[in-house]
């Protein structure tokens, strides 16, 4: 019995989420780490309420970009060589495996964004305008970052230096996501149209998805 | 008596020295100084060619990476990696010279201008490319992984170049690479073009030497890997009778 492409991707995503549920790496390590970062910023720049309100949304996105990479390269999302060989022998399409891993990372990143977002609103006294757009922006950024992190994790693919190297690759390449997300929130605050920024996020997500699917097989061949 | 063929690669360092001398002569002595900026404008004759070489080098990295993914021939990998290394060097040089020029002109070493920021980001993306190549000793895996990143990373080049058009920028808009005639004095344009040609020649000289070095590094790596495996029975030693251990 053959399983469809999305069936395979769903299986991989379920496996990654099950591993995360068992280990709790994102919930108990990365998420608290991001929260601590949000607490440290006011200590460094001052606790003046208007200043914090002005920098709050920007700080939220910086923390999401930098710490979100750690969600994508979590140890529970990485396969050992024997696991990779086993997945390869089962005949799972490498592209489906990529989509599944990115899917799991994106779901975790959405949870990560929501919890840190609520914390930012509370700590920095942020007032969000245009709530209807917020879920769409959060989802697009999470999917983009999930795809980028999974792709970079596949390219690096070694235990030797993945933890240090993947953030070095992902952080500069996530700049279009950061620009679009921050500008979309700024547009909402000023009452401007944010369609251009939404379109930019969609284009980045599509480009990353195509790049990841096309490079999945060559990357699997490298082991 | 045996004779050996002359080593032509020895010519390239001399070419690089002559090129550096010519650029110094043209930019430092023959061209008049700028009416507004004075001697400071001479940085232009190294800053602009440095930026041009960064574009060229990263473009070559992308093309060679694509060729490697298509043909799986290691010479393309060597070409991509050598070009990226030289590109990173010249991007760093361009950034440093821009900062040196920026302090007396703008009053700050760094300003949050789109061109500057994106150039710095491009520098770090390709630094990541070079770091990626150091993560594994498997030559084929390294080539394939870095080829994928080499193709993806090139998106930074048009972003950097058109940033001064797309965003309001403090940085000067394109002077030579634009549809209209350049906004510069004729002598300065000629000097800049000479400097661009000289730097391009220097890039070729550096590439020839770097690719040769990359080929030798590969040979060493293969030799080490072929010697690395333990010989069957190597752990067994002959019994030494009558000796106390």
pLDDT in tens, B109-129: 988 888 888 899 999 999 999
Give CA separation, B14 vs A119, B21, B213, in Å.
62, 11, 17
CA distance B81 to B79: 6
Q: In chain A, which residues have pLDDT < 70?
A: 1, 75-78, 158-163, 223
The contact set of A with B (CB < 8 A) is 151, 155-158, 160-162, 165, 168-169, 171-173, 175, 211, 215, 218-219, 221-223
pTM of the model: 0.82
| pLDDT at B245 (0 to 100) | 44
Give the distance from residue B75's alpha carbon to the nearest chain A alpha carbon, in angstroms. Answer: 18
Question: What is chain A's mean pLDDT, rounded?
Answer: 89
| pLDDT at A212 (0 to 100) | 93
Q: Is a pLDDT exceeding 90 seen at residue B88?
A: yes
Decide if A156 and B135 are in contact by the 8 Å CB cutoff: yes
| pLDDT at A17 (0 to 100) | 92
| pLDDT at B225 (0 to 100) | 80
Decide if A169 and B138 are in contact by the 8 Å CB cutoff: no
| pLDDT at B236 (0 to 100) | 65
CA distance A179 to B58: 24
**At residue B38, what are phi and psi to the nearest 5 degrees?**
70, -145
| pLDDT at B230 (0 to 100) | 62
For the question of an ipTM over 0.85, the answer is no
Q: Is a pLDDT exceeding 70 seen at residue B67?
A: yes
């Amino acid at each position: 019995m053959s399983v469809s492409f999305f069936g395979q991707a769903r299986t991989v995503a379920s496996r990654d989420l099950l591993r995360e549920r068992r280990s709790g790496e994102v919930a108990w390590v990365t998420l608290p780490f991001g929260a601590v970062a949000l607490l440290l910023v006011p200590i460094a720049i001052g606790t003046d309420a208007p200043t914090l309100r002005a920098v709050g949304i920007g700080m939220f996105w910086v923390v999401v970009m930098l710490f979100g990479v750690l969600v994508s390269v979590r140890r529970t999302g990485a396969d050992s060589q024997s696991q990779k060989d086993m997945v390869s022998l089962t005949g799972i399409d490498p592209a489906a495996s990529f989509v599944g891993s990115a899917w799991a990372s994106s779901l975790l990143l959405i949870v990560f964004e929501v919890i840190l977002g609520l914390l930012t609103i509370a700590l920095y006294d942020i007032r969000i305008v245009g709530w209807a757009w917020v879920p769409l922006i959060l989802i697009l950024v999470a999917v983009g970052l999930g795809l980028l992190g999974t792709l970079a994790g596949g390219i690096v693919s070694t235990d030797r230096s993945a933890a240090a190297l993947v953030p070095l690759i992902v952080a500069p390449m996530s700049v279009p996501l950061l620009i679009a997300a921050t500008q979309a929130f700024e547009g909402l605050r000023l009452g401007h149209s944010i369609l251009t920024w939404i379109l930019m996020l969609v284009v980045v997500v599509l480009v990353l998805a195509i790049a990841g699917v096309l490079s999945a097989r060559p990357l699997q061949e490298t082991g | 008596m045996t004779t050996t063929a002359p080593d032509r690669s020895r010519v390239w360092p001399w070419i690089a020295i002559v090129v550096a001398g010519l650029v110094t002569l043209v930019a430092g002595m023959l061209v008049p100084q700028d009416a507004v900026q004075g001697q400071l404008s001479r940085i232009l004759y190294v800053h602009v060619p440095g930026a041009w070489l960064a574009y060229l080098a990263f473009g070559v990295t992308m093309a060679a990476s694509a060729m490697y993914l298509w043909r799986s021939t290691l010479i393309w990998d060597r070409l991509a990696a050598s070009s990226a290394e030289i590109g990173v060097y010249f991007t760093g040089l361009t950034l440093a010279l821009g900062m040196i020029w920026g302090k007396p002109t703008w009053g700050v070493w760094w300003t949050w201008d789109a061109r500057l920021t994106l150039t710095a980001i491009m520098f770090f993306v390709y630094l990541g490319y070079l770091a990626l190549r150091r993560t594994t000793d498997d030559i084929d895996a390294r080539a394939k992984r870095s080829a994928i990143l080499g193709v993806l990373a090139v998106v930074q080049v048009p972003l950097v170049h058109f940033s001064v058009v797309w965003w309001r920028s403090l940085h000067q808009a394109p002077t030579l690479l634009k549809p209209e005639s350049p906004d510069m004095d004729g002598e300065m344009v000629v000097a800049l073009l000479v400097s661009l040609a000289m730097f391009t020649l220097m890039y070729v000289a550096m590439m020839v030497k770097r690719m040769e070095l990359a080929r030798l590094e590969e040979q060493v790596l293969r030799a080490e890997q072929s010697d690395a495996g333990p010989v069957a029975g190597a752990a067994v030693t002959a019994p030494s009778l009558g000796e106390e251990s």
